[in-house]
Amino acid sequence: MSTASATSSRVTAATPGELTAICEDLFGDVYAAPSAEPLAVCQWDMAIIDADASTRAIGTGEGVRVGVIDSGIDATHADIAPNLDLAASCSFIRPGTPTALPAEFATSCTNKAALRDFYGHGTHVASEIAAPINGIGIAGVAPEATLVALKACTAEGYCFVDAVAAALRYAGDQRLDVVNMSLFADPYLYYCQNEAEQRAMLEQLKSAARYAQQRGVLLVASAGNQADDLQHPTIDDISPDYPPDSAVTRQVRNNCRVAPAELPGVVTVSATGPVGYPGYDMNIADYSSVGMGVVDVTAPGGDYFSATGTVQDAVLGALPNTPSLLWDAFDPLEPALPGITVVDQGQRYGFLNGTSMSAPHATGVAALIIEQHPGWSPGAVAAALERTATPLACPANWQPIDEADDRQRCYGSPNRNSFFGAGLVNAYNAATS
């Protein structure tokens, strides 16, 4: 892992001026900048869900506590720190956890150093939810919400069942308002109930999720990046993904569930690219899993190269200022993919793609609903999130991308279908609900 710092000469990231020139050229005539933050012109994702000044005049997520079950959060990042409740944050990476670094191990919530995000994923997700309006970088959907880091994913991005379940129970104990889960719980993608070990692990997750929900926590999860139809699953060829090289190809049916996306009561989110961009009319991201009765809503997750032909079709978010796997992987790509990373006032950002990016947009919108209706149950908030979404019809003439694409068709009505659920989340509608 690289030891380069944000100020090292090895960093090749774009300057804010270089990146905003790219984004102005790509998006300036299509989307209004959603804020006056320095990199806002690149935030097409916030523009298409109306996470803008008109919404912030009504709601900002103030007072809403948002848990982020992920790889940790960079507590030093200037676009994270103002909204991070470090005292309530906790790492659930126990000593000996596979793929974790010793620095991530924690035996109690007092070890705040263990929250460090060595992967980079959690920092990006958190910034999409609640990056503050502070004249640095970007703005999140709910820029005054309170973030609580619930670290359950390792430096290599593995989020094992025990850690995810512990984080969910802690969220219930803390009575957080909403929790984002941009993950599937390792080591299985699909947990099949006819297999005793997998059934036990799925029940562990169900029980923990139920505990959190009973204590008022709304749970939001990504649908997954396997281009699967979760209502009609066919093949799982990546499980188990740990230990290495132990995966087997197996047929899966409806007795098998992706977790947490298919846990009862969880709001599950598919991903779109830059909806409304001229010539981009499929809307569903190339990788996004779907499923009637599974996907509740959709949100911007990015769709590399699909609208403008650039990496700016993905979602811009914060990355740790300390060394992280994602920064070390993406920053060297800068010469070939201009603007894939950027440093603004010493703070790192990058463009990432996935339902991992769509879920936090829905989580941020949920925070706006909770701010207006603090007494509502998780079910009521979930219903409002769907009710205030902008319907997206099935794409005309859509076909599977290749033989690995299990989304054989989009089915349902213009108001609710297998690709987009009830539609694209909308921050303004939510704040005024």
Which sequence positions are flagged as catalytic? 70, 121, 356
Asked if 320 and 327 touch (Cβ cutoff 8 Å), the reply is yes
What are the residues whose beta carbons fall under 8 Å from the beta carbon of 195, sequence distance 6 or more? none
Separation CA 396–CA 393 (nearest Å): 8
Among the listed residues 258, 268, 266, 70, the one whose alpha carbon sits nearest the alpha carbon of residue 158: 70
Among the listed residues 135, 39, 127, 15, the one whose alpha carbon sits nearest the alpha carbon of residue 80: 127
Q: Is 32 exposed, middle or buried (0-12, 13-18, 19+ CB in 10 A)?
A: exposed
Separation CA 331–CA 293 (nearest Å): 39
Asked if 357 and 124 touch (Cβ cutoff 8 Å), the reply is yes
Separation CA 99–CA 267 (nearest Å): 29
Angle subtended by helix axes 355-372 and 378-387, to nearest 10: 110
Could you give phi then psi for residue 68, rounded to 5 degrees? -125, 100
Tokens 């749970």 sit at which residue?
219
Asked if 269 and 299 touch (Cβ cutoff 8 Å), the reply is yes
- Which residues face 256 on adjacent strands? 192
What are the residues whose beta carbons fall under 8 Å from the beta carbon of 296, sequence distance 6 or more? 267, 268, 269, 382, 385, 386, 421, 422
Per-residue burial over 39-67, b = 16 or more CB atoms within 10 Å of its CB, e = otherwise: bbbbbbbbbbbbbbeebbeebbbeebbbb
Count of alpha carbons within 13 angstroms of residue 125, beta-carbon side: 36
Separation CA 372–CA 366 (nearest Å): 10
CA 68 from centroid of its chain's CA atoms: 9
Q: Give the C-alpha distances (Å, rounded to integers) separating 373 from 60, 127, 259.
A: 13, 23, 28
